[in-house]
């Protein structure tokens, strides 16, 4: 039994004891798999949780900043870099392949990171115990260094390459995964209210990547089943992301490219324009455990057949808080 499984078992025991004692657990963790009362359609425990608690809990409290004044202070501390330039010849033309990239740093502080990461570990435990929908949680077999990383998908099932059933890369429209959890909706709300993402592009899907030491994501351009902009939030360690019109694969988890951008902890990288569509990007094998969450809005023509829009996300509009 490895440390992760021990933690999973520990969380399970704590949750059961908590339930027996009739208390609810901390909202940051949620009592996801154990809220079995009034279950509506228990295909996934996360679903049961979402359905049962829609009106019970204000998800703002997950990332609570008590007063508007504090939020303005926090907002003023965000560092935004929107001036990335790297010129390459693309189809014979000099092109800034980084046009459209933005890095917003200090969007999440260490306290918030802790809540988010703890919650992700909790989701991972649920996945390991089979309490999430089949395609929500995926833990690939490690057969060589740099291969595979744990992923959790919400909102839609995305296929990175042709799967066992012959589905091509992209959104698998007839596959269901769990809906976006409340804490992640609170994150989206912040991204829109803090002008990291425009209200016209509120994400309705996300992928959590849990990288162990040595795990990577190879060079790619995100599929056009997702509209632009989309964004990635980084947690646990600072790591580099490489960009370039043609990134090179040197070996397992080893890549090279002309531009390396340091993704600080709590930062949000926004991809659009050439930065999303001309340049490839990749994360070389990480030096220690890392977690990222990529939020994306699906092209309306590619929505899963049984997709139900989330009213809270639909209502999201730009707040009166103004970014720098």
Residues that bind ligand AKG (CB under 6 A): 207, 209, 217, 222, 232, 234, 241, 281, 283, 292, 294
Number of residues written out for the chain: 324
d(CA 36, CA 24) in angstroms, rounded, equals 12
Provide the minimum distance between the beta carbon of 37 and ligand AKG in the complex, in angstroms, as a whole number.
Answer: 35
Distance CA 80, CA 60 (A): 24
Nearer to ligand AKG, 78 or 283 (CB): 283
Q: Least distance (Å) from ligand AKG to the CB of residue 76?
A: 26
In angstroms, give the least distance from the CB of 222 to ligand AKG: 5
**Residue among 90 and 236 whose Cβ is closer to ligand AKG:** 236
* Minimum CB–partner distance for residue 182 and ligand AKG (Å): 22
26-33: which pairs have CB atoms within 8 A and are 24 or more residues apart?
A: 27/57, 27/61, 27/62, 28/62, 28/115, 28/118, 28/119, 28/183, 29/118, 29/119, 29/122, 30/119, 30/122, 30/181, 30/182, 30/183, 32/122, 32/123, 32/126, 32/131, 33/126, 33/129, 33/131
Alpha carbon distances (Å) from 12 to 17, 90, 183, 208 = 9, 53, 20, 22
Nearest approach, Cβ of residue 148 and ligand AKG (Å): 13
Task: Report the C-alpha gap between 218 and 291 in whole angstroms.
Answer: 16
* CB-nearer residue toward ligand AKG: 131 or 296: 296
Nearer to ligand AKG, 32 or 247 (CB): 247
Task: Report which residue's Cβ sits closest to ligand AKG.
Answer: 292
Q: Which two tokens stand for residue 114?
A: 């802790």
Q: Residues 9, 15, 16, 22: what is their CA dihedral angle, to the nearest 10 degrees? A: 170
Measured CA to CA, the distance from residue 282 to residue 239 in angstroms comes to 11
Give the helix ranges, DSSP H, for 32-181: 45-53, 68-76, 110-128
Q: 119 vs 158, which CB is nearer to ligand AKG?
A: 158
Q: Which is nearer to ligand AKG, 35 or 234 (CB)?
A: 234
Smallest gap from Cβ 25 to ligand AKG, in A, equals 29
- Smallest separation (angstroms) from ligand AKG to the CB of 29: 23
Nearer to ligand AKG, 31 or 292 (CB): 292
Considering the complex, state which of residue 14 and residue 249 has its C-beta at the smaller distance from ligand AKG: 249
Closest CA to 36 of 27, 25, 45: 45
Q: Are 11 and 122 in contact (CB under 8 A)?
A: yes
């Amino acid at each position: 039994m490895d440390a992760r499984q021990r933690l999973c078992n520990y969380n399970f025991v704590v949750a059961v004891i908590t339930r027996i004692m009739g208390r609810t657990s901390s909202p940051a963790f949620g009592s996801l798999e154990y809220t079995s009362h009034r279950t509506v359609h228990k295909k996934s425990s996360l679903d049961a949780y979402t359905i049962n608690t829609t009106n019970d809990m204000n998800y703002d409290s997950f990332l609570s900043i008590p007063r508007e004044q504090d939020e303005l202070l926090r907002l003023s501390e965000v560092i935004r870099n929107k001036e990335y330039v790297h010129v390459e010849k693309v189809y014979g033309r000099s092109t800034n392949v980084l046009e459209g990239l933005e890095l917003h740093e200090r969007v999440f502080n260490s306290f918030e990171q802790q809540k988010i990461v703890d919650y992700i570990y909790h989701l991972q435990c649920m996945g390991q115990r089979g309490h999430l929908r089949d395609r929500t949680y995926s833990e690939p077999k490690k057969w060589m260094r740099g291969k595979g990383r744990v992923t959790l998908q919400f909102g839609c099932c995305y296929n990175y390459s042709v799967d066992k059933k012959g589905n091509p890369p992209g959104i698998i429209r007839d596959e269901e995964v769990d809906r976006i959890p409340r804490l992640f909706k609170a994150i989206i709300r912040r991204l829109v209210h803090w002008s990291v993402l425009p209200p016209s592009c509120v994400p309705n899907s996300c992928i959590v990547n849990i990288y162990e030491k040595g795990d990577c994501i190879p060079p790619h351009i995100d599929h056009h089943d997702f509209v632009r902009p989309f964004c990635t939030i980084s947690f646990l360690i600072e790591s580099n992301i490489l960009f370039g019109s043609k990134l090179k694969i040197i070996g397992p988890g080893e890549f090279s490219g002309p531009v390396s951008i340091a993704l600080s902890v709590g930062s949000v990288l926004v991809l659009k324009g050439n930065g999303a569509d001309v340049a490839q990007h990749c994360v070389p094998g990480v030096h220690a455990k890392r977690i990222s969450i990529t939020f994306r809005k699906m092209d309306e023509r590619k929505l899963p057949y049984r997709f139900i829009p989330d009213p809270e996300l639909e209502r999201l509009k730009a707040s009166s808080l103004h970014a720098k």
